[in-house]
Copies of this chain bind each other. A is one copy, B any other.
Amino acid sequence: MNYEGRGQRLRQIMGEKQIDVCLIWDPDNQYYFSGFRAISYSRPIVYLVCKDQTDLIVPALEELHAAEKARGSHIHVYYEQIEMAHKESSYRDHLDKLLARYPKGARLGVEMNSLSAGMFLYLQKKGFELADIGLFIMEMRFIKDSDEIALLKVAGQLSDYAVAESLSHARVGISELELDAYGDKLLLEMASDLYENDIIGYENWTCSGPNSVKPHLYSSTRKFEPGDVVIHSRQVWFNGYRAENERTFIVGKPTEKQKDLFKLAVEAQRVGMEMIKPGIAAREVDLAAYEVFKKAGYGEYVNHRIGHGLGLTEHEEPYLRFDNSLVLQEGMVFTIEPGVYVPGVGGFRHSDTVILTKEGSFSITQHTRNVEDLIFQ
């Protein structure tokens, strides 16, 4: 990964915005710049970037991990055992010292959307002038380079294996969570066969029957019943980079109306995938897919945008939304997932992950989208 180039670009932005030092709080941004990502929870990790060095504040249990991954950073360790009580026992002990290098009124770049209000007040009290750097980091992350795209492609391929395996077990009587588990197991076996020392992450949400009209639900122990429409959603990430892969399917015999709506959602997705390319505005992709639903008389049953950016975070900007006029560029990555949700009939949504190229775009997820292949008797 081009950590050096990312650091240079951040410093260039800092120069333009007259920012003396950046405090990076968001774990995905920390990983983006340093290559280090911890399971942090209740132990804060802080990454500081100034003109000529980077400092990483970590709890003691991350000391070895940070030394291995965040090469080039000065690592500052805080402790939570009594024999080290004379040293730093909180991230703030280090932060106080590191920030004391800057004069009152220095400009400190922070991510206003990730930093907590408590931290904001703490930094403000020190006399810093706080400026939002989050937007600029987000914009850097919009465009994926070839290293990132290589990881995304692996994630996409792995997600296809997992979706295929889960769906091969679709039948009356198995639960949403069991469906998820089949795909997970194969995913992790395949990945372990193919890769040596890599991190695979996975998340699933399967909503079945009456719950398929609620687009975002955690999977439950509900068992499939004859005639259920089911939306199986899956994200797989490979060393942090995520592919999203979602398929609607039907257990048992669908009604004609269900088949029609299924095909309508497939068509809306096809339109969106065909339209997305560099040079087009985000809103146009959303509106084109929406138009498919509207023309068929189902506009009122659409309740979300057609897609979102994807990379290190579950949902990233830019959003493919009716009011976003951002012009898309080569190297951006999006989900294309128009959905229609009709109470009493079912919810219908596929999601694929597409990468924008000079020529247009291609999908890194390929599982079949046809209704005929997604009915399980």
The chain A residues found within 8 Å of chain B, CB to CB, are 37-39, 41-42, 59-65, 79-83, 85, 89, 110, 112-121, 130, 132, 174-175, 177-178, 180-182, 184-185, 187-189, 191-192, 194-201, 205, 213-223, 286-287, 290, 294, 299-300, 302-305, 308, 314-317, 319, 321-323, 341, 343
**Residues in B whose Cβ lies below 8 Å from that of A180:** 188
CB closest residue in chain B, given A214 = B65
The complex places the Cα of A201 from the Cα of B218 at a distance, in Å, of: 9
The complex places the Cα of A200 from the Cα of B302 at a distance, in Å, of: 29
What 3 pairs between A and B have smallest CB-CB spacing?
A: A117-B120, A175-B192, A60-B303
Are B217's CB and A65's CB within 8 A? yes
Are B200's CB and A81's CB within 8 A? no
Are B178's CB and A189's CB within 8 A? yes
**Residues in B whose Cβ lies below 8 Å from that of A80:** 303-305, 321-322
The complex places the Cα of A79 from the Cα of B300 at a distance, in Å, of: 11
The complex places the Cα of A274 from the Cα of B201 at a distance, in Å, of: 36
Known contacts A79-B303, A181-B189; 6 further A-B pairs (Cβ under 8 A): A113-B118, A117-B119, A178-B192, A181-B187, A182-B185, A200-B221
A42-B308, A303-B61, A323-B85 are contacts. A221–B201 as well, Cβ < 8 Å?
no
Nearest CB on B from A351, distance (A): 13
Are A181's CB and B188's CB within 8 A? yes
Are A81's CB and B299's CB within 8 A? yes
A42-B319, A303-B63 are contacts. A200–B214 as well, Cβ < 8 Å?
no
**Residues in B whose Cβ lies below 8 Å from that of A187:** 181
The complex places the Cα of A112 from the Cα of B221 at a distance, in Å, of: 36
Nearest CB on B from A294, distance (A): 8
**Residues in B whose Cβ lies below 8 Å from that of A120:** 117, 120-121
Are A323's CB and B118's CB within 8 A? no
Nearest CB on B from A177, distance (A): 4
Of residues A37, A59, A85, which shows the largest number of chain B Cβ atoms within 10 Å of its Cβ? Answer: A59
A117-B116, A200-B177, A315-B42 are contacts. A192–B221 as well, Cβ < 8 Å?
yes
The complex places the Cα of A168 from the Cα of B184 at a distance, in Å, of: 18
Nearest CB on B from A163, distance (A): 16
Out of B113, B177, B303, name the residue touching A81 (CB < 8 Å). B303
The complex places the Cα of A120 from the Cα of B118 at a distance, in Å, of: 9
**Residues in B whose Cβ lies below 8 Å from that of A223:** 192
Nearest CB on B from A14, distance (A): 18
Are A175's CB and B188's CB within 8 A? yes
Are B322's CB and A81's CB within 8 A? yes
Out of B63, B192, B290, name the residue touching A174 (CB < 8 Å). B192
**Residues in B whose Cβ lies below 8 Å from that of A116:** 112-117
Nearest CB on B from A207, distance (A): 10
A192-B221, A321-B80 are contacts. A213–B303 as well, Cβ < 8 Å?
no
Nearest CB on B from A248, distance (A): 15
Nearest CB on B from A338, distance (A): 10
A177-B192, A185-B184 are contacts. A299–B83 as well, Cβ < 8 Å?
yes
Nearest CB on B from A161, distance (A): 13
The complex places the Cα of A236 from the Cα of B272 at a distance, in Å, of: 38
Are A62's CB and B216's CB within 8 A? yes
Nearest CB on B from A44, distance (A): 10
**Residues in B whose Cβ lies below 8 Å from that of A89:** 323
Are A218's CB and B188's CB within 8 A? no
Out of B64, B82, B174, B184, name the residue touching A214 (CB < 8 Å). B64
Nearest CB on B from A263, distance (A): 21
